[in-house]
Amino acid sequence: MKLKDYQDLFQRAILAGDDTILREIPDGPRENKTNLLGIYRDAYVLRLIEVVASDHEELQRYLGEDAFADMARGYIAKFPSRHCSARWVSENLPEFLKTNEPYARQPILHELATLEKALSDAFDAADVPVLGMSEVAAIPMEDWPQLFFVPHPATQRLTFTTNASDVWKALKDEATPPPIRTRDEPANVIVWRHGRTAKFREMPAEEAMMWAEASQGARFGTLCEMLATFDDPAGAAGRAASYLKGWLDAGFVSEAKVADQADRERMRT
């Protein structure tokens, strides 16, 4: 048998539990071949658990190392790694925690994992230009009602039903996390990258509504109209400008465009 054939059999033995390779190898001098293969299989799973823990340090701190390892074993069995890069080993962990017992009974687990995944995604997002306030200020005022914004690819809005963001911050600071609570109203959390650092913060309801619409291509004039129905109509334009400045300073936006006729037709449909 060629070396490549042995390698393929060994890979199937580790990744798929295929024991065919046992017919091709002898027992060791001190241990039988089945136990030796089991050592390699265990080592592979342990390495994957290390990767998941590296991606979700605060979730591991919250659960404790032993409980986290048990959870990660179940996750790896449910979602075997399908990529050559370890970067994607943990990509389905939020889904696993949301849909599998006993973890699904604790929404805080899914939300902590979701936040950590979003921070990793923000860090790895495409390195596209960030729009600055000076560039927006150069746009003629008469064009502002037709202005729409392109979110930076690192930016992502999350919705949490628990105080997951407060718990994560405490864990990150190695402090005692606050008691878990279910929110009366869901929290809107924005994740983004500032320079080389992934960050997040909670958005007030009005800003979250404006960002949700802006990220879908709503024009600035439409956003002002929406804010006028949300609260104090007289101050809607000022609040919209204030939110926009905050987004630009933080790096939420990569482009601003003036809608032409084709864009307006697209937005209406």
Q: Kindly give, in sequence order, each residue whose CB lies less than 8 Å from that of residue 248, ignoring residues fewer than 6 positions away.
A: 131, 132, 133, 136
**Tokens 């399908």 map to which residue?**
82
Tokens matching residue 124: 């790895």
- The low-confidence residues of the chain, meaning pLDDT below 50, are 261-262, 265, 269
| Residues β-bridged to residue 201 | 190
CB 1 within 8 A of CB 7: no
Query: Which of 235, 232, 230 has its CA nearest to residue 211?
Result: 230
Q: How many helices (H) and strands (E) are present in the chain, helices listed first?
A: 12, 5
Taking the CB of residue 93, how many other CB atoms lie within 10 A of it?
A: 27
Helices 107-124, 164-172: crossing angle, 10 deg rounding: 70
Give the CB-side neighbour count of residue 164, counting CA atoms within 13 A: 23
Alpha carbon distance 133, 198 (integer Å): 21
DSSP letters spanning 41-100? HHHHHHHHHHHHHHHTHHHHHHH-HHHHHHHHHHHHHHS---SSSGGGTTTTHHHHHHHS
Query: Which of 167, 207, 169, 168 has its CA nearest to residue 188?
Result: 207
| Residues β-bridged to residue 191 | 156, 200
Vertex 245 angle, CA 241 and 246, to 5°: 120
**SS percent in the chain: helix, strand, coil, step 5:** 60, 15, 25
pLDDT in tens, 206-223: 999 999 999 999 999 999
pLDDT at site 33:
66
pLDDT at site 24:
67
Domains present along the chain, CATH in parentheses:
1-92 (no CATH), 106-269 (3.90.930.50)
Quick one: 261 exposed, middle or buried, by C-beta within 10 A (0-12, 13-18, 19+)? Answer: exposed
156: phi then psi, degrees, rounded to nearest 5: -145, 135
Write down the pTM of the prediction.
0.84
The kind and range of the H/E element at 190 are strand 182-194
CB 253 within 8 A of CB 151: yes
